């Protein structure tokens, strides 16, 4: 999100529709899965079935970012992975900082999917001084104050924000002072961040609520 409200002139095209961009990583994961299983080709239909999407949508998505398939065979798995990850720019953004070494931060560190998608947490920061120097899943925890400098020196462009409410202010202040380009905000508190940064927000609570809402809707519809 963070698609600003009054976008009068010149809306920027991202090269593909946003929903497509959001599906891309999911394709990549399945493709890698098939690649590891030794498959060479996959049809849009097979790919779609795996994800409850129509074959046509898969083709539209893939073709909109320049991936090409071959009639009769489908899409060449290795090449398609290449095109997709290049489009996603995963390689340019592979190194990520993590802010927050609590249970949520630990879950991010332990998450295979983060690795599977080609990312690497390269440093962990925490506002709590008591945690500095501690180790979480083999990562040494740095004091938050070191981050500004490390962003500059390493050129890392994405941070995952996973702190609790008490440390939020301090964390956002530090982030605002950096040249970071994107923040993955897991706090669920929708903190204000500089407009120049792309922010993706997710939290367990609101997804649960949305799920409950869908269930409630289904129930409503059935009566």
Partner DNA sequence: CTGTGTGAAATGATTCACAGCG
Partner DNA sequence: CGCTGTGAATCATTTCACACAG
In the complex, which residues of this chain contact DNA (CB under 7 A)? 3, 5-7, 11, 17-20, 43-45, 53-57, 59-60, 62-63, 67-75
**Residue numbers 86-115 binding a copy of itself by CB under 8 A:** 87-90, 92-93, 96, 102-104, 106-115
Among 34, 42, 48, 81, binds a copy of itself (CB under 8 A): 48
CA distances 193 to 122, 176, 178, 180, 199, Å, are: 22, 7, 11, 11, 8
Binding span for a copy of itself by CB under 8 A among 16-24, 75-83, 140-148, 170-178: 16-24
Residue 123 contacts which entry, DNA, a copy of itself, none (Cβ below 5-8 A, type-dependent):
none
- Token output for 67: 């991936």
Residue 44 contacts which entry, DNA, a copy of itself, none (Cβ below 5-8 A, type-dependent):
DNA
Q: Cβ closer to DNA: 6 or 120?
A: 6
> How buried is residue 131: exposed, middle or buried, by Cβ count under 10 Å (0-12/13-18/19+)?
buried
Residue 70 contacts which entry, DNA, a copy of itself, none (Cβ below 5-8 A, type-dependent):
DNA
CB of 83 to a copy of itself, least distance (A): 13
Contact 134, 160 (CB under 8 A): no
- CA distance linking residue 177 with residue 170, whole number of Å: 11
CB of 26 to DNA, least distance (A): 12
- CA distance linking residue 220 with residue 223, whole number of Å: 6
Beta strands of 8-145 (E only): which ranges?
Answer: 41-42, 75-76, 95-99, 120-126, 135-136, 139-143
Q: Cβ closer to DNA: 41 or 139?
A: 41
Contact 195, 181 (CB under 8 A): no
């Amino acid at each position: 999100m963070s698609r600003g409200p009054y976008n009068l002139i010149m809306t920027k095209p991202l090269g593909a529709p946003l929903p497509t961009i959001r599906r891309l990583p999911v394709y990549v994961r399945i493709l890698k899965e098939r690649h590891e299983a030794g498959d060479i080709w996959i049809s849009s239909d097979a790919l779609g079935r795996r994800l409850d999407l129509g074959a046509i949508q898969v083709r539209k998505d893939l073709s909109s970012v320049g991936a090409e398939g071959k009639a009769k065979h489908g899409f060449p798995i290795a090449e398609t992975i290449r095109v997709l990850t290049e489009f996603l720019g995963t390689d340019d953004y592979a190194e990520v900082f993590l802010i927050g070494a609590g249970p949520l931060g630990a879950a991010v560190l332990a998450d295979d999917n983060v690795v599977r998608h080609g990312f690497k947490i390269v440093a962990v920061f925490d506002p709590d001084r008591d945690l500095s120097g501690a180790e979480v899943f083999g990562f040494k925890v740095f004091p938050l104050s070191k981050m500004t400098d490390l962003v500059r020196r390493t050129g890392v462009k994405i941070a995952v924000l996973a702190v609790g409410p008490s440390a939020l202010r301090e964390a956002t202040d530090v982030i605002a002072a950096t040249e970071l380009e994107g923040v993955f905000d897991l706090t669920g508190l929708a903190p204000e961040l500089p407009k120049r940064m792309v922010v993706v927000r997710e939290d367990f609570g609101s997804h649960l609520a949305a799920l409950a809402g869908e269930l409630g809707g289904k129930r409503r519809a059935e009566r």
